[in-house]
A and B are shown apart, each in its own frame.
Chain A
Amino acid sequence: MTDSAQLQRDLARVALGDRAAFARVYQATSAHLFGVALRILNRRDVAEDVLQEAFVSVWHHAGSYQAASGQPMTWMISMVRNKALDVVRSAAVRHETEMPVTAEGEAIDIEDARPSPLQLLTQATDALAIRGCMEALDASHRQCLALAYCQGMSHCEVAAHMRAPLGSVKAWVRRGLERLKKCMENGQ
């Protein structure tokens, strides 16, 4: 796991234009961030572009990162996710990768190598002791959140994936988020 305090110090230096610190930030975080981008985008070439964009943004905006507002890794993950989601939402990346006809090669390799979103979610909750909150969610809520968050799926895509009505998926996502928030607030 990345050393958060070190990362904060390096980001502070990046804000001052320190390129050596920027290289350290890249080294410490790029594999994790590339994993995040790849999972949402399903395509290496696009994920590489997104990663590059994200790091250029980190270079320019490191000064606006505020340690008080959270972990540096969270800030960087959000940056990557937002850029990846922009791409997914604005282009047909999703369709290209999800259509059986075109989803060959890399996309499938990646797919095969990865644990399911649900497994990932379970690992995350184990590791971070919020498992109780996740377990309190209905299975369908849990799966919706995992598909949307980790795979960048839209409501429609989640619905298609789960073979459930769109209206139900929307409700599950909303309730899942509400309950997660409530549980985490009560538990901490």
Chain B
Amino acid sequence: MNYNRADLLDRLASEYVLGTLHGAARRRFDKLLIESPAARAAVRAWEQRLALLAAPVPPVAPPSRVWSATEARIASTAASTAAGRGPQRLWWSSLWKPALGFAFGAALTFALVQLMPGAFVSLDGLAQREQALPQSYVGLLQDSEGLPTLLISSTRHGTRVTVKSLRPVVVPAGKVAQVWALPKEGAPFPIGVAVPTKPHGGTAFEMSATSEKLLSTVTRLAVSFEGVPAQAGATPGDFILIGPCLKLW
């Protein structure tokens, strides 16, 4: 099926949200949602339109066991982070998480921008930590499900870029993980290649100029899988990871 036709995409999105798209077609569309920002946007628009219809559905208080079970599960995932999804959380990761989570949200959500003063006051010691960090450009790249996956950072006047994996990134054989900078205006440009890393592994690469020079107008960073390291002027393939790039000072 040709998903590129805007009207067809919109129709599929509408029936997806309505719930009448099912079977193999629904699964295909689920897959498409991971790959296509246009499909995600169409679905979001339909969710907005149709969610109005759920407003008067009578609320029914769920039994308290739902909360107990939910709470137990999030507690166990938090505890099993040590063994499961995020093994051996590094000291910096717990240190950075509030700061980055905050910065990331601020970039994307107006609400969080409003929250900013409160968050800084209430997130204990955050300001202190931030003072301890060097002036840096920091990118937090997420996968298609929105899970933070790569942390890319570089000091303001340095050329060395540090890459940390928060989740495993599997680079297909014969491909490289190309890091792109997406300026506020203009085309994405390649800044380097990140070597595939294990969860919580690290790597680094050198850029052709300082962060300040290259990244000052960059609002997002992204990673695509390319056959060969991209040269200046190259067009990126599909972004596998993407996220905001922030000035941390």
A residues neighboring B (CB under 8 Å): 5, 8-9, 12, 15-17, 19, 22-23, 26, 30-32, 34-36, 38-40, 47-48, 51-52, 55-56, 59-61, 63-64, 66-71, 73-75, 77-78, 81, 85, 89, 113-115, 120-121, 123-125, 127-128, 130, 145-146, 148-150, 152-155, 158, 173-174, 177-178, 180-181, 184
Contact = CB atoms under 8 A, between A and B. Distances in A.
B130 interface: no
B70 A145 contact: no
10 contacts: A35-B58, A36-B57, A48-B65, A75-B47, A81-B54, A113-B58, A121-B53, A148-B19, A150-B53, A177-B18
A140 B238 CA distance: 42
Contact of A19 (B74, B109, B147): B74
Nearest to A84: B19
Nearest to B23: A89
- Per DSSP, chain B at the interface is helix
Given A9-B115, A66-B109, 16 more contacts: A12-B105, A23-B71, A31-B62, A47-B62, A56-B70, A63-B148, A68-B108, A68-B110, A77-B54, A89-B26, A114-B58, A115-B58, A145-B18, A148-B18, A153-B20, A174-B11
Contacts of B71: 19, 23
Nearest to B51: A74
Given A12-B112, A26-B67, A152-B19, A78 B56 contact: no
A35 B53 contact: no
Interface of B: 10-11, 14-15, 17-20, 22-23, 26, 44, 47-63, 65-67, 69-71, 73-74, 77-78, 97-98, 101-102, 104-105, 108-112, 114-115, 119, 123, 142, 145-148
Given A149-B19, A154-B22, A31 B78 contact: no
A55 to B, nearest CB: 5
Contacts of B19: 40, 81, 85, 148-149, 152-154
Given A9-B115, A121-B53, A149-B54, A66 B61 contact: no
B56 A120 contact: yes
Contacts of A16: 97-98, 101-102, 123
A184 B49 CA distance: 8
A124 B54 CA distance: 7
